[in-house]
Amino acid sequence: MESINTSLAEALNKISKLSSVVIEELNQLTKASGVKKNTILLDVGAVSRHLYFIQTGLARVFYFHEAEDVTDYFAIDNQFIGGVESLFTGMPSKKGIHVLEDSIIYSILYADLEELCRKYHEMERAGRMLAIYAFLEGQQRIESIRFHEAKERYKALGNKYPGILNRCPLKHIASYLGITQVSLSRLRAGSV
C-alpha cells in the first residue's frame, strides 16, 4: 500500500500545512487496509471511533427513515468520511458507513487524532478545518435539498464526485438526490 506521506498527508496538507514530524506520527497511528465492497465500516447504533480517508474507492454515509435506506453523504477517491456526530459526542451513531466498491481506506482512532491535536497546534488547525468542512458540507446539503430542483442536484452530484454516476448503484444516487429511481432514470436520459 502507498505510504501515508503520498495520500492522506497530501490531503491534509491541502487543508492545513503539516510538518514532517506530524506526518511521521500520523503515519504511525494510521492503518491502511484493503476493504471489500459492501463492508459496513460503521453500523447504525454503534459508537464511531475512527475517522476514515478513502484513498481509492467509494463509500457512503446512510441512515434509515421509516424503514427506508437513505444515503446522506458520499466519499470518493481522496476524501474523508466518518460518523461525525458520534465521533464528537461519543453517543451511538444514527448513521452508518457502507463501502460501495473495493477500496483502500486509511483509518485513525479518533482518540489518537485528538492526542495529535493536543500535541501539535498545526494538527489542531487541520482538525478544526476538517470539522468546519464537515459543517459546511451539511449546510450545503440542506440548502441543495431545499432550494434546488432534482436536475440541478443531479448535475452538482456529478461535479462534486467525478465519476460517481458510473460507479455507484442508482438506488443510492436516487436516495441521495431525494428522488425515485424512475425519476433518476429520466434525468439520466435527459428527458426531465
Least confident of 36-40, 46-50, 157-161: 157-161
Instruction: Specify the residue for cell string 452530484.
Output: 157
CB atoms within 10 A of CB 29: 16
pLDDT in tens, 115-151: 999 999 999 999 888 888 888 887 887 887 788 888 8
pLDDT in tens, 40-99: 999 999 999 999 999 999 999 999 999 899 999 999 999 999 998 999 899 999 999 999
Of the chain, the end-to-end C-alpha distance in Å amounts to 44
1 alpha-carbon distance from chain centroid: 20
What does pTM read for this prediction?
0.88
Instruction: List Cα–Cα distances, 93 to 7, 10, 21, 80, 105, in angstroms.
Output: 28, 29, 33, 17, 20
pLDDT of residue 106: 95
Residue 4, pLDDT > 90, answer: no
Fold (topology level) of 4-146: Jelly Rolls (2.60.120)
